[in-house]
């Protein structure tokens, strides 16, 4: 057994440290006929958008296999499960609750609670109902208010049975990939679109926060952002400046409004025709106090200058040109960037408690004699948990960690070709098989301790 060699005194080993696995509705649920269509259903139908031409029709059929999946989660020994609610499964287009859809999540949460597994519920993991996209989606300010109403309806029903509510997962991806570069649903393109969508997403979060707090006063409430820190390719001034701009544009554009109530200073470099419409009071709404800040970490960006001005002046260097080790996504494996990123954030911001809400890697897994010996993924987890331990030892208040993902699933524009799971999914039989990485984490979690340094 390849062991995760974190010292027994590490906070990560402590019984109270939250150690979970994560998934998202569209990526695992299937059963599309019992919910409203969402932007990803539409996007999957556009030729060329999904690399294997797949869709979410069946996915892992979690809607039918949920009990088996809870047993799987429980068998790993984790104490938390992070999943998302499909907006269009629980709400009708007229804004009423869909009782059948809600009942699904209620039974899931009840079953988790009975097993002592904390439910971390994300309200929005990218699956905007299509009828809202038809009215402008995240470019329409009204969508933020629809989100608040959805958050209100669901948290009234589920209340404190949920340990932690997350408003949004990765607003960068929804805004930048969905409305600026167009590689994700709904596939809109343009800087003005991306920046406006980002603002409305942040506003949606801020509007929902007090409502969630009122309806579930004993739950935790927060948001999850993805951060890929930006390092300069060289120590020349132009590259350093380019990396700083990239960091603002891709990361701090989301972090700074949430934690400081302002966009980064470099906002002024945005062309006037790309600046979002911001109303008086919006920034104060967005800066709603957080019980926790969720960070998804996978990799970093290496950035160089291309000599142009402003946000047009940075370029991301293809990881294969600079990295020693790549995942199947072509992302650099760089655990030290996790430590550095947490330390830098702690210096720049007054941070609430942190959860690492996603971390993991896709590799080309092979199932041989019913076993998946995914040693590269085992190594990835070992290195990243050690990197996290270093940040905790240096004083960063990290309270939990979630592996992405419980099982292989629909990896958005990459379809089912990229496997991030701790458990292998055979997409013909839908059988789930724990990989070596799952067994390694299970073994690690069997040695919890009450000691802490
Ligand atoms: O699969 C995604 C997830 O939905 C959001 N965070 C990143 C993961 C890997 O790309």
pLDDT tens string 189-209: 999 999 999 999 999 999 999
- Domains of the chain and CATH, by start: 11-225+353-446 (3.20.20.80)
Rounded to whole angstroms, the Cα distance separating 54 from 57 reads 9
Give the ligand 1 atom nearest the CA of 126: 4
| pLDDT tens sequence across 97-124 | 999 999 999 999 999 999 999 999 999 9
Residue 358, ligand 1, Cβ within 6 A: yes
Residue 224, ligand 1, Cβ within 6 A: no
Query: What is the average pLDDT across 38-60?
Result: 98
Residue 10, ligand 1, Cβ within 6 A: no
Residue 327, ligand 1, Cβ within 6 A: no
Type and span of the H or E element at 382: helix 375-393
Structure tokens at 391: 């940040």
Ligand 1 mean position, distance from CA 24 (Å): 9
What are the φ/ψ torsions at residue 403 (nearest 5 degrees)? -80, 135
Residues recognised as catalytic: 170, 358
Give the ligand 1 atom nearest the CA of 358: 6
Give the ligand 1 atom nearest the CA of 409: 1
Residue 166, ligand 1, Cβ within 6 A: no
Task: Write down the pTM of the prediction.
Answer: 0.98
Q: Which band of pLDDT confidence, cut at 50, 70 and 90, is reported for residue 453?
A: low
Residue 374, ligand 1, Cβ within 6 A: no
Structure tokens at 173: 């991806």
Residue-level pLDDT at 24: 99
Structure tokens at 283: 């920034």
Ligand 1 mean position, distance from CA 387 (Å): 20
Ligand 1 mean position, distance from CA 171 (Å): 12
Rounded to whole angstroms, the Cα distance separating 402 from 386 reads 14
| pLDDT tens sequence across 330-346 | 999 999 999 999 999 99
| pLDDT tens sequence across 14-24 | 999 999 999 99
Residue-level pLDDT at 154: 98
Q: 248 vs 82, 229, 255, CA distance in Å? A: 28, 10, 9
Nearest to 305 by CA among 315, 297, 295, 294: 315
Residue-by-residue DSSP string for 404-442: E-SB----GGGTTSS---SEEE-TTT--EEE-HHHHHHH
Give the ligand 1 atom nearest the CA of 296: 6
Residues 6+ apart with CB under 8 A from 405: 21, 22, 23, 27, 358, 360, 420, 421, 422
Q: Which band of pLDDT confidence, cut at 50, 70 and 90, is reported for residue 1?
A: low
């Amino acid at each position: 057994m390849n062991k995760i060699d974190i010292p027994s005194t590490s906070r990560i080993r402590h019984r109270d440290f939250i150690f979970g696995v994560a998934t998202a509705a569209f990526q695992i649920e299937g059963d599309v006929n019992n919910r409203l269509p969402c932007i990803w259903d539409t996007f999957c139908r556009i030729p060329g958008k999904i690399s294997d031409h797949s869709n979410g029709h069946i996915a892992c059929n979690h809607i039918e296999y949920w009990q088996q999946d809870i047993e799987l989660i429980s068998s790993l020994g984790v104490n938390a499960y992070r999943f998302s609610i499909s907006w269009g499964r629980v709400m009708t287009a007229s804004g009423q609750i869909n009782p059948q859809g809600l009942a699904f999540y209620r039974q899931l949460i009840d079953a988790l609670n009975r097993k002592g597994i904390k439910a971390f519920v994300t309200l929005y993991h990218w699956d905007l109902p299509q009828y809202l996209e038809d009215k402008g989606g995240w470019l329409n300010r009204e969508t933020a208010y629809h989100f608040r109403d959805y958050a209100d309806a669901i948290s009234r029903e589920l209340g404190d049975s949920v340990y932690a509510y997350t408003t949004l997962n990765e607003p960068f991806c929804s805004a930048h990939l969905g409305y600026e570069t167009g590689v994700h649903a709904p596939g809109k393109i343009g800087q003005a679109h991306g920046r406006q969508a980002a603002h409305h997403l942040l506003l949606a979060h801020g509007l929902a926060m007090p409502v969630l707090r009122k309806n579930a006063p004993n739950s935790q409430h927060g948001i999850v952002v993805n951060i890929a820190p930006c390092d300069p390719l060289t120590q020349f001034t132009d590259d350093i400046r380019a990396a700083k701009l990239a960091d603002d544009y891709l990361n701090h554009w989301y972090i700074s409004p949430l934690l400081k109530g302002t966009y980064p200073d470099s906002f002024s470099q945005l062309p006037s025709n790309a600046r979002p419409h911001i109303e008086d009071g919006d920034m104060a709404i967005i800066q709603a106090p957080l019980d926790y800040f969720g960070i998804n970490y996978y990799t970093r960006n290496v950035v160089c200058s291309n000599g142009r001005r402003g946000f047009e002046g940075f370029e991301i260097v293809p990881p294969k040109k600079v990295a020693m080790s790549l995942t199947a996504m072509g992302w650099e494996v760089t655990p030290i960037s996790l430590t550095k990123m947490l330390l830098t954030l702690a210096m720049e911001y007054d941070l609430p408690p942190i959860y690492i809400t996603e971390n993991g890697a896709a590799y080309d897994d092979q199932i041989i004699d019913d076993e998946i010996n995914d040693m590269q993924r085992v190594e990835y987890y070992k290195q990243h948990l050690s990197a996290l331990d270093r940040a905790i030892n240096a004083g960063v208040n990290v309270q939990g960690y979630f592996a992405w993902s419980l099982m292989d699933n629909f990896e958005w524009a990459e379809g089912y070709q990229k496997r991030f799971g701790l458990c292998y999914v055979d997409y013909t039989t839908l059988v789930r098989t724990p990989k070596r990485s799952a067994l390694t984490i299970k073994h690690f979690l069997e040695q919890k301790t009450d000691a802490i340094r």
